[in-house]
Structure 1
Amino acid sequence: MHSTVRRVCLTGFGPFHQYDENPSWLAVKRLRDEVLSFKDGSNAQITAIKIPVVYQEVLDTVPRLHEKPLSLPSDVQDGDRGIAEPFSLIVHVGVGAKGPLKFETLAHKSGYVSPDVRGAYAGIIQQDKHSAVARGFSGMRYTALDESLVTHVNVPAIVNKLNAQAVNIVQSFDPGRYLCDFIYYCSLAESKLSSRRTPTIFIHCPPVGEPLSTEEVADGLRKIILETLTSLYSVPSRL
């Protein structure tokens, strides 16, 4: 039997707007420390991390998820403080509109006009003489990157396999130009800039009961992780 061979980072968001407890975190925390098994005896162990709905918190935390060894900020809740092994897959989850799970395909560098839960805005990328401001990823680290980044995971193929398992999920191309879009772009950018190129995906879940329950979302995330790892690493079919 093999020992654990894959580590998966699963992130959900903290409170915002009408959500005292974010539906994404309600589902993600159910998978904290779970070990998913494959037929050859190999495993995938999940680390669950809650990230505030704050632009700067994303910028402070996400680059560390792509490092080895990992060291997370002290104010990132419910996450391991130090992780010796790198992640094989990073999965970000956020709440979206009612309906199915949405497997997002791409993320955007600019267009972030709304303040976060602390009233702060994304950085200024450009400002013209009429004081019109474009906001998004303003740091030099991201300057040369494209306006949109696409996950290199085969989203259509994975969605088709999940649909065959009765998972209520669709492919999406609109992560929303808020913190969900922002964390996805940041993570895709760090994957691209890092020598490890850690595969990164984003899943939108609906509000609780619209129509999926928290347990249904959590089960969907399990299956998404298993199918994505199978696709990426040719892991034998799951149990």
Structure 2
Amino acid sequence: TDNRKNEHLSPFGEHAVNASWVAVQELEKLGLGHEINLHVAEVPVEYQAVQSLLPSLWKQQLPQLVVHVGVSGMATTVTLEQCGHNQGYMRLDNCSFCPESRCCMEGGPDCIQSVIDMDAVCKRVNSSGLGVSVSVSKDAGRYLCDYTYYMSLFLGEGRSAFVHVPPLGKPYSAEQLAQALRAIILEMLELMEHNKGKKHCLHDQ
């Protein structure tokens, strides 16, 4: 599981605490059960750092699934992102850098879908009585969250997910967010196991 810092105002904007990182740290305490190895890493809000860090993460950890988590000041629910986008990256990162090409991967597909059906995950978690509202989005924002997600989807052939969480207390606590992340990730892994062997179309035509 990887973490994105607040992408809207750097590094944490108007929020004193980065809700996504705090929630992921709480998730690390909870764990995903004895049979699932959870590796947690914090990713800088920098295009070039993402370009160098993600390939090594995928290569070294050989994960079944990578779940990125970021905080969105606009979110009021825990939001599952279905896809990552290649173009439209015009905002400067925390190093005042922006890709000259305005894209994540030159020549890559415009959009890559996760192999995970986020609508199915959303329905399952919302019907579980968890007390945290979950929704689905198809636009991760064309900044570092979207950029990271696209690259991870490319590297992992779709075996990635991105979850946006609202700021702490708006309305959920770190513990509630961690419980939601745990439930979401377990549902994702179960769906992946169920769909093992099935072919997925990762790239939008």
Shorter chain as normaliser: what TM range? 0.7 to 0.9
Alpha carbons 2:2, 2:43 under 8 Å: kept: no
Alpha carbons 1:12, 1:28 under 8 Å: kept: no
Do structure 1's residue 32 and structure 2's residue 28 form an aligned pair? Answer: yes
Task: Report the structure, 1 or 2, having the larger helix content.
Answer: 2
Do structure 1's residue 100 and structure 2's residue 77 form an aligned pair? Answer: yes
Cα distance in 2 between the residues matched to 1:16 and 1:149? 28
Alpha carbons 1:23, 1:207 under 8 Å: kept: yes
**TM, length-normalised to structure 2:** 0.84
Cα distance in 2 between the residues matched to 1:190 and 1:118? 24
Alpha carbons of structure 1 residues 205 and 173: separation in structure 2 relative to 1, 3 Å: same
Shift of 1:19: 4.2
1:104-143 aligned within 5 A? 104-121=81-98, 123-125=99-101, 135-137=102-104, 142-143=105-106
Do structure 1's residue 88 and structure 2's residue 64 form an aligned pair? Answer: yes
Tell me the alpha carbon deviations over residues 188-210 of structure 1, each in whole angstroms, 9 at most, x when there is no partner. 11123xxxx6x100000001111
Partner of 1:46: 38
RMSD of the TM alignment (CA)? 2.0
Alpha carbons 1:102, 1:170 under 8 Å: kept: yes
1:59-74 aligned within 5 A? 59-67=51-59, 70=60
Structure possessing the higher radius of gyration over alpha carbons: 1
Shift of 1:109: 0.6
Cα distance in 2 between the residues matched to 1:206 and 1:16? 13
Cα distance in 1 between the residues matched to 2:174 and 2:166? 9
Partner of 2:141: 176
List gaps (5 residues or longer) in structure 1. 1-8, 71-82, 126-134
Do structure 1's residue 147 and structure 2's residue 143 form an aligned pair? Answer: no
Letter paired with 2:133? N
Partner of 2:198: none
Cα distance in 2 between the residues matched to 1:10 and 1:119? 23
Q: Percent identity among equivalent residues?
A: 31
Do structure 1's residue 162 and structure 2's residue 162 form an aligned pair? Answer: no
Specify the SS of the correspondent of 2:100.
Answer: strand
List gaps (5 residues or longer) in structure 2. 196-205
Cα distance in 2 between the residues matched to 1:98 and 1:151? 21
Shift of 1:34: 4.7
Task: Report the structure, 1 or 2, having the larger strand content.
Answer: 1
Partner of 2:201: none
Select which of 45, 48, 55 maps to 2:47. 55
Cα distance in 2 between the residues matched to 1:33 and 1:10? 15
Specify the SS of the correspondent of 2:147.
Answer: helix
Shift of 1:183: 0.5
Aligned length: 188
Specify the SS of the correspondent of 1:66.
Answer: helix
Cα distance in 2 between the residues matched to 1:146 and 1:231? 25
Specify the SS of the correspondent of 2:40.
Answer: strand
Shift of 1:150: 0.8
Higher relative contact order (CA 8 A, sep 6+): 2
**TM, length-normalised to structure 1:** 0.73
Letter paired with 1:22? N
Cα distance in 2 between the residues matched to 1:233 and 1:34? 22
